[in-house]
A and B are shown apart, each in its own frame.
Chain A
Amino acid sequence: QVQLVQSGAEVRKPGASVKVSCKASGYTFTSYYTSWVRQAPGQSLEWVGMINPSGESTTYAQKFQGRVTVTRDTSTTTVSMELSSLRSDDTAVYYCAFYSLSRKSLDYWGQGTLVTVSS
Chain B
Amino acid sequence: DIQMTQSPSSLSASVGDRVTISCRASQSIRNYLNWYQQKPGKPPTVLIYVASNLESGVPSRFSGSGSGTDFSLTISGLQPEDFATYYCQQGNSAPYTFGQGTKLEIK
Contacts and interface: CB of A to CB of B under 8 A. Distances in A.
Interface in A80-94: none
> Which of B36, B45, B53, B96 is the most central at the interface, judged by chain A CB atoms within 10 Å of its CB?
B96
A106 B46 contact: yes
The secondary structure that dominates the B interface is loop
Interface size class of B (residues with CB under 8 A): 20 to 34
A101 B78 CA distance: 31
Residue among A95, A104, A109 with most chain B CB within 10 A: A104
Interface stretch (A9-17, A41-49, A69-77): A41-49
Nearest to A100: B49
Given A59-B94, A62-B1, A95-B43, A44 B49 contact: no
Given A44-B100, A44-B101, A111-B43, A103 B49 contact: yes
A113 to B, nearest CB: 11
Interface SS majority for chain A? strand
A46 B95 CA distance: 9
B97 interface: yes
A104 B98 contact: no
Interface string B71-104: 0000000000000000101011011111111000
Given A62-B1, A103-B50, A104-B49, A44 B44 contact: no
A119 B103 CA distance: 32
Given A62-B1, A110-B43, A104 B34 contact: yes
A109 B95 contact: no
Interface residues of A, number: 23
Interface of B: 1, 32, 34, 36, 43-46, 49-50, 53, 87, 89, 91-92, 94-101
Given A45-B98, A61-B95, A105-B46, 14 more contacts: A44-B101, A45-B89, A47-B94, A61-B94, A103-B49, A103-B50, A103-B53, A103-B91, A104-B49, A104-B92, A105-B49, A105-B91, A106-B96, A109-B45
Interface of A: 35, 37, 44-47, 50, 59, 61-62, 95, 97, 99-100, 103-107, 109-112
